[in-house]
Amino acid sequence: MDRIWIFAQADPNAHEVIKAEEITSQNQQQTTQTTTQQAEPNATGTTGKKSIQNQWSQLIFIVLIFIVLYFVMFRGPRKKQQQQEQMIKSLRKNDRVQTVGGILGTVLETSDNEIILKVDESNNTKIKVLPSAISRVIEQK
């Protein structure tokens, strides 16, 4: 849009010809440039130090978020896994355990690859389970 025409009438009772004014886009650009040029020196002088401080504070905030995420996502499950391994290593004969599937049994034998559980006393029913299938120790004897 190169030119804008504005029509105005001075007096409605008078029989004068309507006046027209022409405003060019160049005039508008010059006025906006002068206003922005006046505001720039003040803005850059005061915001230079603050922007650096803001960048450092944002960087520190992001690093703190990653540290918290590390402890929540990686440290917690790893600690639980270590407790599970410690519990499995401490299993002995005649310990009552519960499997992940909810089966209750008494430990008869333990080895690195499998654990033999006695499930039913009357029928002398035995099952072999993986060490990772042991959920918790109910009683240790």
Asked whether the predicted pLDDT for residue 14 surpasses 70, the reply is no
Q: What is the dihedral of CA 119, 120, 125, 126, to 10 degrees?
A: 20
pLDDT above 90 as % of the chain = 49
126 touches 117 (CB < 8 A): yes
- Closest to 119 in 3D by CA, of 97, 141, 137: 97
- Mean pLDDT (whole number) for 110-121: 93
Segment of 19-23, 37-41, 95-99 carrying the highest mean pLDDT: 95-99
Residue 62 in 3-state DSSP? helix
Asked whether the predicted pLDDT for residue 118 surpasses 70, the reply is yes
Residue 122 in 3-state DSSP? coil
Asked whether the predicted pLDDT for residue 16 surpasses 90, the reply is no
- Mean pLDDT (whole number) for 92-106: 94
pTM of this structure? 0.51
Residue 133 contacts by C-beta under 8 Å, 6 or more apart in sequence? 99, 100, 101, 115
For CA atoms 103, 108, 110, 114, give the dihedral sign. Answer: negative
- CATH fit for domain 92-141, picks 2.30.30, 1.10.3210, 3.40.50, 2.70.150: 2.30.30
CA 89, 93, 98 angle in degrees (round to 5)?
70
Asked whether the predicted pLDDT for residue 62 surpasses 90, the reply is yes
Task: State the pLDDT at residue 71.
Answer: 86
Asked whether the predicted pLDDT for residue 22 surpasses 50, the reply is no
Residue 112 in 3-state DSSP? coil
- Closest to 97 in 3D by CA, of 115, 83, 122: 115
Q: Structural domain boundaries of the chain?
A: 92-141
- Per-residue confidence band for 3, with pLDDT thresholds at 50, 70 and 90: confident
Which helix (H) or strand (E) covers residue 6, if one does?
Answer: strand 3-8
